[in-house]
């Protein structure tokens, strides 16, 4: 969220969506 | 009366329509991927592919240097041993073996092993850099590394 002011909200939003997918994937691996 | 020249001025010097260069560029961009796909299937099915594959066997291609071993260790630490092993299986052609070796030695063995910053900080830097440049596939890999290095879901979201 700290990056929003530097690189813009759309990129950060996309990054958070990617993070959500990765974390979900990692949870399923365990 | 002299024949009029066709309006080629918008077609570029070689006479193609402007959109054709765009298609060429896109095709050139996809060529390595296409070559990889063709190579992967032919190496599995044809005699030539089998011969080529046995000539440069995996053991030969992976003559392990110290840097390679160090890179492998760091990579497993970052990605998790199981995930790293799965990624190894997904790569099959000889060209990819070479690229893999280079990447293992240069990126993981040299870059990630540099002193000064710990792995946790380096992983976060990669996440920030990928986000800033909109590199989503790379971000997924680096997020996994950051998570394995101890960044939690909440702390990485704040950054």
ipTM exceeds 0.85, yes or no: no
Are A24 and B140 in contact by the 8 Å Cβ rule? The answer is no
The string of pLDDT tens digits covering residues B7-64 is 544 444 455 555 655 555 655 555 555 555 555 444 444 454 444 454 445 555 555 7
- Chain B residue closest in CA terms to A22: B140
Q: Which residue of B81, B154, B155, B157 is the best one to mutate when testing the A interface, meaning the one whose CB has the most A CBs within 10 A?
A: B157
Specify whether the CB–CB gap between B97 and B61 falls below 8 A.
Answer: yes
With an 8 Å Cβ cutoff, are A29 and B147 in contact? no
Residue B31 CA to residue B71 CA, distance in Å, equals 29
């Amino acid at each position: 969220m700290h990056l929003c002011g530097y690189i813009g909200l759309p990129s950060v939003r996309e990054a958070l969506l990617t993070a959500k997918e990765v974390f979900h994937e990692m949870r399923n691996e365990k | 009366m002299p024949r009029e020249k066709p309006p080629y001025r918008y077609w570029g010097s070689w006479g193609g329509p402007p959109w054709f260069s765009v298609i060429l560029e896109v095709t050139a961009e996809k060529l390595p991927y296409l070559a990889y796909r063709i190579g992967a299937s032919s190496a599995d099915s044809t005699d030539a592919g089998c011969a080529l594959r046995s000539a440069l066997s995996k053991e030969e291609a992976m003559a392990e240097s110290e840097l390679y071993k160090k890179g492998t260790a760091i990579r497993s630490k970052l990605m998790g041993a199981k995930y790293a092993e799965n990624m190894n299986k997904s790569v099959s052609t000889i060209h990819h073996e070479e690229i893999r070796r280079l990447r293992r030695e240069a990126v993981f063995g040299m870059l990630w092993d540099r002193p000064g910053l710990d792995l946790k900080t380096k992983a976060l830097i990669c996440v920030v850099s990928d986000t800033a440049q909109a590199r989503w596939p790379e971000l997924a890999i680096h997020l996994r590394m950051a998570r394995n290095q101890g960044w939690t879901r909440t702390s990485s979201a704040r950054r």
